[in-house]
Structure 1
């Protein structure tokens, strides 16, 4: 992975980076409307993409928040079991390919 550090104006951000992440794949077909409900296919695929980009263990990762960040875009905040690693992950939907991570920000404390 080709990780590149980027600037952030948010005082809660320890570090921010981008990389050449690929869409994670999807089981969804047809026109896409994001489903934010717990347990939805979108939430499962967003969690999977966030785990891959952050290096957190998907099975021991907590999703603090998932929200709309624009047309076919979401932001999620996730952390590990003891909240020592907290990340805000920005993703974009690609039809037929799934969610693709655009940016990861390591946070001092959970936030939207």
Structure 2
């Protein structure tokens, strides 16, 4: 039987055409699958990022909630300690009490339960002195300044004298420089701790000017 070369050529061309078509189809299918994976990934993973960016407070809240219970308790205890310290300080500071007086030249009497001794540099025993410039004299002025809340270098001492017990009690008449407000300050000596204010009288007029 004679061989028909034309028929073989037609079959070969047809097979080649089918192979090309299959390759194109497979390529298109692969591209479509890749696109589906990319779009799907963006939807799932990109959506999470967007949600996180929209609500950063949720992340912060989560961190707070994830904080160990012990650490939360420590912070609470620290806050409580600070409040207690503040309350104790208020108690120590005390409040200045004002009292009326029937003395002719006294406008009012001032007392603060929180007044404390001012300290002392006298280490070899206390020797009360009424000589200007001595250690004890300077400490008397410091105690008076502390009682009336006037800096020593801005305070004028009009009169300094002893009390009933000149060694352990003193009385100072003072005022701020340039001010007409005059005070009579009573102080007492506390061994090892220095002079302590015990009472202040605000005078109507300066009787020691």
Fold similarity call, TM over 0.5:
yes
Count how many residue pairs are aligned between Structure 1 and Structure 2. Answer: 112
Kindly indicate whether the alpha-carbon contact (under 8 Å) linking 2:109 and 2:200 is maintained by their aligned counterparts in 1: yes
Residue 77 of structure 1 and its aligned partner are, at CA, apart by 0.4
Stretch deviating more after TM superposition (47-56 or 84-93): 47-56
Counterpart pick for 2:170 among 59, 74, 93 = 74
- Equivalent runs, 1:1-112 vs 2, <5 Å: 1-20=94-113, 21-71=115-165, 72-111=168-207
Indicate the structure whose relative CO is greater, using CA pairs within 8 Å and at least 6 residues apart. Answer: 1
| Structure 2 residue ranges without an equivalent (≥5) | 1-93
- Residue 29 to residue 111, structure 1, CA distance change in 2 (3 Å): farther
Query: Aligned partners of 2:100 and 2:192: how far apart in 1?
Result: 31
> Separation in 2 of the partners of 1:75 and 1:7?
20
User: Cα distance, 1:100 vs. partner?
Assistant: 0.3
Q: Deviations over 1:15-44 (max 9, x none)?
A: 111112000000002332211000111111
State whether residues 117 and 194 of structure 2, in contact with CA within 8 Å, keep that contact through their aligned partners in structure 1. Answer: yes
Where in structure 1 are there 5+ consecutive unaligned residues? none
How much has 1:86 moved relative to structure 2?
0.6
Secondary structure of the structure 2 residue equivalent to 1:77: strand
More strand by share: 1
Partner-residue secondary structure (3-state), 1:46: helix
Cα RMSD over matched residues?
Answer: 1.5
Distance 2:100 2:186 in 1: 15
Bigger Rg over Cα: 2
Alignment deviations for residues 43-95 of structure 1 (CA, whole Å, 9 cap, x no partner) = 11111111111112321110001111022100000011123221000000011
Moved over 3 A (4+): none
